Amino acid sequence: MSIDLAYFELPFRVPHRVGTTTLTARRGVVVRKRLGRRVGFGEVSPLPGAHRETLAQAVESLIEGVRNSSSPMLPSAAFGLSCAVETAAANPRYGLADQPRTVDIGVNALFSGTAEDARAAIESGAFEGFRTVKLKIGRARRADDHRLIQTAIELLPREVRLRLDGNRTMGLTGIVGLLRDVDTRRIEYLEEPLRNHTDLCELARRTQVSVAIDESLYDPEALEHVLGAPGIDVQVVRPSLMGSLEEVEAVITRGRINGMDTVLSTALESSYTIALVARLATVMEVGDRDHGLSTAPFLSQDLVDPMPVVGGRMALARALPVPSLEFVPAEKFTLPASARA
């Protein structure tokens, strides 16, 4: 198989914190695959702090996989190659036939900041029309998280529901205490708030709120514990952390068998990958939830024009967008030194 590659660098609007690292830009490569007269594209851009592999390792795995006609070992490489092959084939199985099945999909709003910032955002209409708003919690003091949640509940329309993402930073008693006087009917789910995954079922039982898994999907020991457990109702799937589209489909199916809906998201990839994952969401049996795809505003440049999000719905273009970059054959490709760190 022959492929072409192009390097890209997309600056963040404001430096982005992932775990303990601060990133100024998304770096990656786009894979171009020709199939007869058709051309397909896929993005390989492991996100430091989320993916275990570096970009250099991903590119090496990709080139090796193509050379040996095998599937690349590293998830972000397998994902990018699979996207290029399946978009070239316009595979309807993954929603990649020329016309999307639906004109739009529901997406959640995303908010990270203080209660005062949330008030300003809501009053400026930033969440207008969204059915779900995801709030980051667990980074501030408990009292600050509490004010943030209560402010959102008070100021957002009654039908809007919150997703509280704690990124494994909290203890069981801490979050149970945080939610004690909160109207939990306004919360759609708690997304992996606990440092200790073995407490997630107990959290669902004590709060009577659904729990969503995210980090546990990439942690085999945790996954075994939570898969199919009561109260674990949702999985947040970021395809480039899983691998090929076939593997992503298998994860969605496994989730469904274990009583979980799937919310599709990305690892802050470009709007090309967002468009592709949105297509995937229209054909997979994921359940009727909003997807975590409204992340384009984090980047100040993009590979393609972002899909417009209006009133909590992301419009799907009639054709997948095409990244315009300078491609070279994979054999001749080298990463710039600045991207090899």
| Pick from 138, 203, 202, 196: nearest CA to 164 | 138
Pair 200, 194: CB distance under 8 Å? yes
User: Left if phi > 0, otherwise alpha if psi is -120 to 50, otherwise beta: which for 54?
Assistant: beta
Sheet of 132-136, strands arranged across: 109-111, 132-136, 161-165, 187-191, 211-213, 232-237, 261-264
Residue type, 25: A
Specify the residue, 65 or 193, whose C-beta has the smaller distance to Mg ion: 193
Choose one: 32-40, 140-148, 209-217, 309-317; the region binding Mg ion (CB under 5 A): 209-217
Task: By CB under 5 A, tell whether 302 contacts Mg ion.
Answer: no
Q: For 125, what's the count of Cα atoms within 13 Å in the CB-facing half-sphere? A: 2
Residue type, 299: L
Task: By CB under 5 A, tell whether 188 contacts Mg ion.
Answer: no
Distance in Å, CB of 47 to Mg ion, minimum: 12
Choose one: 115-123, 190-198, 223-231, 279-287; the region binding Mg ion (CB under 5 A): 190-198
Among 86, 104, 145, 214, binds Mg ion (CB under 5 A): 214
Angle between helices 245-257 and 75-88 (to 10 degrees): 100
Specify the residue, 145 or 191, whose C-beta has the smaller distance to Mg ion: 191
How far apart CA 61 and CA 42 sit, in angstroms, is 15
Q: What is the DSSP letter of 131?
A: S
Task: By CB under 5 A, tell whether 165 contacts Mg ion.
Answer: yes
How far apart CA 35 and CA 39 sit, in angstroms, is 6
Choose one: 191-199, 203-211, 254-262, 315-323; the region binding Mg ion (CB under 5 A): 191-199
List, in sequence order, every residue forming a beta bridge with 239; answer none if it has no partner. none
Sheet of 4-18, strands arranged across: 38-44, 21-35, 4-18, 328-329
**Binding pattern for the stretch 34-73 against Mg ion, x by CB under 5 A and - elsewhere:** ----------------------------------------
Q: Show the tokens assigned to 92.
A: 């309807």
Number of residues that bind Mg ion (CB under 5 A): 3
Distance in Å, CB of 186 to Mg ion, minimum: 19
**Binding pattern for the stretch 106-145 against Mg ion, x by CB under 5 A and - elsewhere:** ----------------------------------------
Specify the residue, 191 or 302, whose C-beta has the smaller distance to Mg ion: 191
Distance in Å, CB of 191 to Mg ion, minimum: 5
Helices (H), 258-320: 271-283
Choose one: 48-56, 93-101, 207-215, 256-264; the region binding Mg ion (CB under 5 A): 207-215
Choose one: 40-48, 127-135, 163-171, 309-317; the region binding Mg ion (CB under 5 A): 163-171
Helices (H), 93-219: 115-123, 142-155, 172-178, 200-207
Distance in Å, CB of 51 to Mg ion, minimum: 14
Distance in Å, CB of 59 to Mg ion, minimum: 26
List, in sequence order, every residue forming a beta bridge with 4; answer none if it has no partner. 32, 329
**Binding pattern for the stretch 216-255 against Mg ion, x by CB under 5 A and - elsewhere:** ----------------------------------------
Q: Which residues bind Mg ion (CB under 5 A)?
A: 165, 191, 214
